[in-house]
Amino acid sequence: MLTTKQRTLVNDPDGPVLAVDFSPDGTLLVTGDGHGHVKLWDVHSGACRARLQGHALAVCAAVFSPDGQTLASGSVDGALRLWSVPGQQCIATVCPDETPITSVAFSPQGKTVAAGCRSGLVWLYDVAEGQIERTLLGHGAGVQAVVFCPDGETLATAGEDLTGKVWDAAVGHERATLEGHHSWVNTVAFSPDGSLLATGSDDMTARLWDAATGAELDTLKGHCGLVEAVAFSPDGNK
């Protein structure tokens, strides 16, 4: 159960808070807010450990690398920034497009960062080389979410064009299109074994898909509003 103090971590007076992620060891929380701040919080004390400044506009996405040593953030200012967690400073900035970056995700190995853009493009940034290594073209409108499969070789995206997509991240090839939603697809998640995908949409449904073929397996109805987040249980059964 969350304590009262832990709950206040996301009630930021500089808010609104638009992005949240726990460090892999659970000791830190990162938030991105509507004023362009990236902040690190101590989960146990509730204290703000660092304010990472550099973005000019709202931060829509902020995530830890798998080893917890690096942060990636994406902003309405069009910049993807990488930050050193121990050094509490920006270590890389890339502005691949002037359009807002709406979502970011590290690959499981931490070697690649995917950035989804309002333009409909997805950029794959090579952390070691410090440059964009690949551009994924396919969405006809803004990309709302990006997520890597546990295998590290497959990427899924969700878009304002009413579709989700499954990609071979190594070569940039589109493997499947998830078609069936009637409004924006806001979120996408892989099951722990990578065999299933879940999506959530403005059409008030969540849907389950075969990750290999893109075939729809089930439509989950019951929400009375937008579905903005989906997740599988650790065992993949829920």
State pLDDT tens for residues 156-206.
999 999 999 999 999 999 999 999 999 999 999 999 999 999 999 999 999
Percent of the chain scoring above 70 in pLDDT:
94
CB environment 73-104: b (16+ within 10 A), e (fewer): bbbbbbbbbbbebeeeebebebebbeebbbbb
Cα 15 to chain centroid distance, Å, stands at 19
Residue 22 CB neighbour total at 10 angstroms: 15
In CATH, what number does 1-95 get?
2.120.10.30
The SS3 of residue 9 is helix
Q: Which residues pair with 113 in a beta bridge?
A: 106, 125
What residue segments make up the domains of the chain, in order of their start?
A: 1-95, 99-238
146 Cβ contact list (under 8 Å, min separation 6): 103, 104, 105, 114, 115, 116, 122, 155, 156, 157, 158
Asked if domains 1-95 and 99-238 share a fold, the reply is: no
State pLDDT tens for residues 96-142.
878 999 999 999 999 999 999 999 999 999 999 999 999 999 999 99
In CATH, what number does 99-238 get?
2.130.10.10
Token pair 């009375």 in the structure block, residue: 224
- What CA–CA distance (Å, rounded) separates 129 from 9? 35
**Cis amide linkage into residue 16, ω under 30° from 0:** yes
Judge residue 129's burial from the number of C-beta atoms within 10 Å of its C-beta, 0-12 exposed, 13-18 middle, 19 or more buried. exposed
Mean pLDDT, the chain, integer: 93
What is the pTM assigned to this prediction? 0.91
Token pair 């994924």 in the structure block, residue: 136
Residue 20: both structure tokens together: 């949240």
